[in-house]
Amino acid sequence: MAFTNAQGRTQTSMAEINIVPLVDVVLVLLVIFMLTAPIIQSGIEINVPKTRTVKELTQERLVVSINRAQELFVDSTRVNINELEQKLKSRIKNPAQAMIYLRADEEVPFGSIAKVMDRAKQAGIVNINVVTQPLVEGKK
């Protein structure tokens, strides 16, 4: 697009993209994702039991979850109990040194939890931690 200035000369407009608004939007999205990523653990709804002693998780580990309907998940992937041993073997390089976290809904019978722990031990994993929530005094 051409235009004339006050001296009568013809000039063309600058065809550059202004990067500042783009950077602002990208930074805002980055901050939003950084704040929401720790909140989203997984899409599996589980009410873990509450206990007085709870260890804070400092590293990301492999999580095996059992929901109220007794469906089994490795991280957020649904797995059949018969495939659990093979799935754990494929995901973990050194089973003797590996540690997994078992998240089970408080309504799940202990027999189901014991079967999952047995399959994990058959895969060679000896360090199995059960995930709980801290018990708040005065609440049940």
Q: What is the pTM of this model?
A: 0.57
Provide Rg for the chain, Cα atoms.
26
pLDDT in tens, 30-56: 998 888 776 665 556 666 667 766 666
Range from 23-37, 92-106, 125-139 carrying the lowest mean pLDDT: 125-139
pLDDT in tens, 3-21: 777 787 777 766 777 888 8
> Do residues 13 and 65 share a domain?
no
Instruction: Let me know the angle formed at the C-alpha of 66 by 62 and 69, rounded to the nearest 5 degrees.
Output: 155
> Do residues 12 and 62 share a domain?
no
> Among candidates 64, 60, 101, which has minimal Cα distance to 80?
64
Residue 10 in tokens: 């013809």
Q: Which domain holds residue 66?
A: 50-134
The three-class DSSP label of residue 135 is: coil
Residue 54 in tokens: 């709870």
Q: What is the pLDDT of residue 24?
A: 93
The three-class DSSP label of residue 23 is: helix
> Do residues 86 and 124 share a domain?
yes
- Domain for residue 10, yes or no? yes
Q: Check if the beta carbon of residue 63 is closer than 8 Å to that of residue 56.
A: no
Q: What is the pLDDT of residue 96?
A: 80
pLDDT in tens, 58-76: 555 788 999 989 999 998 8
Domain count, the chain: 2
Instruction: Let me know the angle formed at the C-alpha of 88 by 86 and 91, rounded to the nearest 5 degrees.
Output: 110
Q: How confident is the model at residue 25 (pLDDT cuts 50, 70, 90)?
A: very high
